[in-house]
Amino acid sequence: MDLGTCNGTRGFIFDLDGTLANSMPVHLAAWQAVGSHHEFEYTEEDLNRYAGMSGEEIVRIINEKQNMDLNPDELTRQKEAHFLENLHKVQPIEPVVRLLDRYAHQVPVSVGTGSFRSVALQILEVIGLSDKVKLLVTADDVDKHKPAPDTFLKCAELMQVDPEECLVFEDAELGFQAAKNAGMQYIDVRKFY
């Protein structure tokens, strides 16, 4: 991955799910398991559309779209429990992990994710990055999630880098919008794997 065209970049921000970790199939299976139990449908299209949102926000959308009254906190806990049972299936996305590894000693690096901190830390452990990622912003750290810029702005603050000098690595539309809303450049990592 050649980053020579990213002039003025002083800090890198990486999304986690679908960017550093090939965890989206495991998330989909977890949503579908919970959906089967509670009798709602959750498709791959839903997964892609809502990637980057918090679990509670996703449940609110499910309630609205499917005329249900599911408890967002409880359903999110159930979904995360299914996900963690299958955490061993999550693999690193090697080209992006190598990039983080390559630049981690040259510029400030952070991870900004819609996952809860407890889950994000376990994902980082499974993909071998827990010792390399020191700055982490999760769903627990901001009130507004992607496409709001809050996650990435908090990353910039932790890195002590101006937002316009940050480069975001993302795989989802809501993440691209969040980067734009934060005034940051971004790279769609899907073309590299």
What distance lies between CA 104 and its chain's CA centroid?
19
Catalytic residue, candidates 15, 17, 46, 171:
15
HEC string of the chain equals: CCCCCCCCCCEEEECCECCCEECHHHHHHHHHHHHHHHCCCCCHHHHHHHCCCCHHHHHHHHHHHHCCCCCHHHHHHHHHHHHHHCHHHCEECHHHHHHHHHHCCCCCEEEECCCCHHHHHHHHHHCCCCCCCCCEECCCCCCCCCCCCHHHHHHHHHHCCCHHHEEEEECCHHHHHHHHHCCCEEEEHHHHC
Asked about 17 being catalytic, the answer comes back as no
Report, as residue numbers or ranges, the catalytic residues.
15
